[in-house]
Every structure is written in structure tokens, then in C-alpha cells.
A and B are shown apart, each in its own frame.
Chain A
Amino acid sequence: MLDGETVVHENDAAQAIRLRALYQIDEMDLERIRSLGSALDGKIDAAVARFYEWMRPLPEFNEYLSDPAVLERVRRLQVAYWVDFLRGVIDAEFVASRRSLGAIHARIGLPLDTYLGGMNSFLMTFSEVASESDSDSFDTSHVTSLSKVLHLDTAIVIDEYNAITKTIIAEQGDALMEMSTPVTEVWADILMLPIVGVIDSRRSMEIMNTMLSKIAETRAHVAILDISGVAVIDTAVANHLIKVTRATRLMGCECLISGVSPAIAQTMVELGIDVGTVRTTATLQDALGMAFHVTGHTVQREA
């Protein structure tokens, strides 16, 4: 109901056909919507005004519509929305316009229940107006048709809310990825990478790339991969960790895997994973001690 250009997608026409079948909307339903449209001609402004009476006490009203200029613009778009709805045509353009409507509301963060409440308020108003205007020509079948089309309309909007939520989740995942491979030079010649959470194929590659480029950059001789925060080591993850240690070795850097918990150790044995010559330790402290040894550092407490 805010502005936003409508872009018709390739499959919107097919989607319109699919949704019409799903909501069992036939030509009779659309005809009834059109006759409601003519009965409501000139009354849509009043219905929209009633909607704002409903909305005024809600906190969302102040949040989004406190500016009179914005309110007026949104009001006009809303009238246009209902005029379009009451044309009784469900085609690619209809689907596209509902999708962009959903996108706009989802992006500004309007709660879905407020949106649905608003739709409900219109359904009530339209039913009342229709029954007042000419009770002979309107019956329950009109209300049924109206509900079907409103449900279809709302389904598209909710789908778009979902799609945007999924995009946000994926973006959050990407953001976490950015922070998930912090290789640091903990001591001269010694690198450390703590791995936390679940390792998937994308993250495996990230670990390999970050580790190797850091070795090239710092010319470190020992790298410690700490897996104490890793949820599971399955065969794919183990395979990858073994490959990382082989690759670092080729670059002249010994890779130690630290933080092998009792549960992970037992599981790896049961799974039948043979780590071969990879050096593993129970704690990060042990690995660090080993790393000091390899690099020729001695750490002593002051007497």
C-alpha cells in the first residue's frame, strides 16, 4: 500500500493460474467480486477511512503514519489497491502487485498480525457495505467469493514475508561466516584458528583458504586448529581437516589439531576415522606447548 514499482516475473502468470485453482476461484467468484466492486463504487474512500479509524489506536499507526503527507500518500495507494482488487481479475500483474506489496510491508517490519488484522477490517467493512446497499442482490456466496480472493491475495503477501525472512537469515549466516575464521598469530611462528559450531562444505573451504594464505603471509611453522567448539566431526569434516593438515605441511607448516573432547574422540573411533600422522591433542594448552617445542621457544615462569 506504500509505493513501489511492480515488476512482473516470468512465472507470475503460471502462479496466478495455480493459485486460482488452489483457492478454487472460478469465473463466478470473479463475477461476484466485480458486482461487489460496482456496489462499492464511490464507497471505497469511506471503507479506507474506517480502516484508519481501526488503525489509529495501534502503535504501528504512530510508527509509520504520523507524517500527514505520508498518510495521505498511503491512503491514496490503498484506495487504488482496493479498486484493483475489485476489478475481479487475477493475472500476472495482480500477482506481481501483491508480491511487491508484501515486500514493502515486510521490509518496513510491519508485523504480519497487524497486516492480517487490516485485511480483516476491510473484509468486515465490505461485507457490511454490500449488505446495506442492496440486500436482494448480495448473499453469502458473495462473502464466500470475497474470502477466497482475499485469502489468495494474503497468501502471496505472506509468501513474500517468508521470502524476505529467509533472505535475512541467509544474510545473517553470511555475516557469521565473515567472523568465523579468525586466524591469528598467537606467537612468533605460531598460528591459531579456533573453529566453533558446525562445519559445512563452504566453511571447510574457507578454513583451508584462510589458513594457507595466512601461512604464506606470516611464514609460520606451526598452525593450531582448535576444534573444541565444533559440534560434530563426521567423515566429511574429518576428511577435510586431514586435507588441511596435508596442505599446510606442503607449505612447511606443521598443523596440530587441538581440543579433541572425549565425546568427539569416541565418536571418531566408532566412525572408523583414521587420522594417520595428524597430531592431535586434548587441549589447546597441550598444542601450544607442542608448538613452542617445535618452534624452539621455551616459556618459563620468572623465579
Chain B
Amino acid sequence: MARDEVRIQILVDADVARAIVVARQLSREAGLSTPRSTMIATAVSELARNILKYARRGSVTVRAIDRDGRRRVEILATDRGPGIADIETAMKEHFSSGGTLGLGLSGVERMMDEFDIESAPGEGTRVCAALWL
């Protein structure tokens, strides 16, 4: 059965894997092309891994929804982790506080049609990203 919305708690590596698989399936069923479904799945992977790495726990919601008369697939990633002090720096290419490529957040922003991040130290992080159909 096609689902319009799936919310996955991110606690362990296996949850990231499940989120990726479910996001890809939901995107395809919503009618996104294969490359764009892969982009949704990849963005989910980036965001879910960030949650595990920095906040240890949080959740990722993927949903197909109508906005302004058009359909889109949205990702909402939230956590109550330490938050990001300087979003502008965190969004910069090649910035990383975790010894990786440092492309994660900026890469997600580039892949997505819409991208929004809210965070403050001690307040957790909330990322909303979307691709239009």
C-alpha cells in the first residue's frame, strides 16, 4: 500500500538504513523520477546520519504533500541535540566538525528545491527540505 507519510525514529545505524529505503520507496510511489528519488533518499541519509552523529537521537519524516496546488516530497529532520551555533559556517562547503568531506548540509541544500534550517545552541536542529514533482 502506498503511504503518504512515514516517520522514523533515528537511534541506531539500522534506522538510517530503514529511513533511506522507506524514503526512496515513498518518493517513487509519489511519482518522483529515479534520479530525484535517489536525491531524496540521499538527503535523508545525510540528515539521519547527522542526527546520529551530533544529537544521537531524533526523527526523520518523509511525506508526499500538496502545497500551492502542486505535489512535492518533503523531508523533515528534527532532533533535540546540541544544535548549531553558527548556521552560516555549518552550511559552508568543506566545513566539517566531524572529520568528513564537509559537504553534507550544503550538498543537501544543492540537491533540494527547497531547504530550510533552524537551529540554536541547546535547542536542537530542524531541517526541512523538499523536491517538487
- List residues of A whose CB falls within 8 A of some B CB: 169-170, 173, 197-198, 200-202, 231-239, 262-264, 266-267, 270-273
- The complex places the Cα of A130 from the Cα of B48 at a distance, in Å, of 54
By beta carbon, the residue of chain A nearest B49 is: A236
Give the contacts of B1-52 with A (CB-CB under 8 A). Answer: 13-14, 16-17, 20-21, 24, 34-35, 37-39, 41-42, 45-46, 49
- Contact A198-B38, Cβ < 8 Å, known A234-B45, A239-B101, A272-B106: no
A202 to chain B: closest residue by CB = B13
Chain B contact surface mostly: helix
Q: Which of A170, A231, A232, A236 has the most CB of B within 10 A?
A: A232
What is the interface of chain B, defined by CB distance below 8 A to chain A? 13-14, 16-17, 20-21, 24, 34-35, 37-39, 41-42, 45-46, 49, 93, 100-104, 106-108, 110-111
Contact A231 B21 (CB under 8 A): yes
Q: Are B103 and A271 in contact (CB under 8 A)?
A: yes
**Minimum Cβ distance to chain A for residue B60 (Å):** 13
B17 proximity list for chain A (CB < 8 A): 197-198, 200
Chain A interface, >50% SS class: helix
A270-B103 contact, Cβ under 8 Å, with A197-B17, A236-B49 = no
Give me 12 A-to-B residue pairs in the complex whose CB atoms sit less than 8 angstroms apart, sorted by A's number. Answer: A231-B20, A232-B20, A232-B41, A233-B42, A235-B104, A236-B104, A239-B100, A267-B111, A270-B39, A270-B110, A272-B107, A273-B101
Cβ contact of A267, chosen from B38, B93, B106, cutoff 8 A = B38
B93 near A234 with CB under 8 A, answer no
Residue among A173, A202, A236, A267 making CB contact with B35, cutoff 8 Å: A267
Known A-B contacts A201-B13, A236-B100, A267-B38; the reply to A272 vs B21 at CB < 8 A is: no
